[in-house]
Chains A and B, each alone.
Chain A
Amino acid sequence: DGGITQSPKYLFRKEGQNVTLSCEQNLNHDAMYWYRQDPGQGLRLIYYSQIVNDFQKGDIAEGYSVSREKKESFPLTVTSAQKNPTAFYLCASSISLGTEKLFFGSGTQLSVL
């Protein structure tokens, strides 16, 4: 079945450490997105990519980095510069940027040790 796979489901970060969240899709979608969700909050856009080797900052990109070397993969690195990383991270994809439906992965809960 086609879908989006995020891993790990739970991740713990030590102070000063960079951690990478994985996102893989086999839907053949061009556009991919990373969102952050804090308790009781909506989704805030971190980065998005509409094509391989191209990505754009969202509303809260500081302290995060991404790459898009393959169409299927869009990993997110939470750097030590992100001082409040505890949140639920969601990867999503759509056929192309601005098209109708977003498909979501199952999410990664990141916590600070």
Chain B
Amino acid sequence: QKEVEQNSGPLSVPEGAIASLNCTYSDRVSQSFFWYRQYSGKSPELIMSIYSNGDKEDGRFTAQLNKASQYVSLLIRDSQPSDSATYLCAVNTGNQFYFGTGTSLTVIP
């Protein structure tokens, strides 16, 4: 079983819609959770981090964490074409980061 699993997509949403990205993890001792955005040929950039159960909002982005279900999600409101990228879920177990394979998102103008 992979440490971190994501639906690889591709996920397509119209401009202005809400994009919902999901991630599950297997290690219950995982302590912190991250979403990175990666454009083709570029390095990942951190867009959200979350450490406790519940929601965390930052602009158009909302991260949701449910440790009991070992589930973390990212909502992107008012999606823009510039949001088209691959989104990587990452989990920190305390001494190592584990990454999912990423979900490819396309926002259609």
Interface: B61 (CB within 8 A): no
Annotate A14-57 by CB proximity to B: 1 below 8 A, 0 otherwise.
Answer: 00000000000000000001010000111111001000000000
Interface: B94 (CB within 8 A): yes
Interface: B62 (CB within 8 A): no
Interface size counted on chain A using CB atoms at 8 A: 21
Annotate B85-97 by CB proximity to A: 1 below 8 A, 0 otherwise.
Answer: 0001010111111
Interface size counted on chain B using CB atoms at 8 A: 25
Q: Bound complex: CA of A78 vs CA of B49, how far in Å?
A: 32
Interface residues of chain B, those whose CB is within 8 Å of chain A, are 4, 8, 31-32, 34, 41-46, 49, 51, 88, 90, 92-97, 99-102
Interface residues of chain A, those whose CB is within 8 Å of chain B, are 33, 35, 40-45, 48, 88, 90, 97-98, 100-102, 104-107, 109
Task: Assess whether B32 is in contact with A100, with CB atoms less than 8 Å apart.
Answer: yes
Residues of the B chain whose Cβ atoms lie less than 8 Å from the Cβ of A40: 8, 101-102
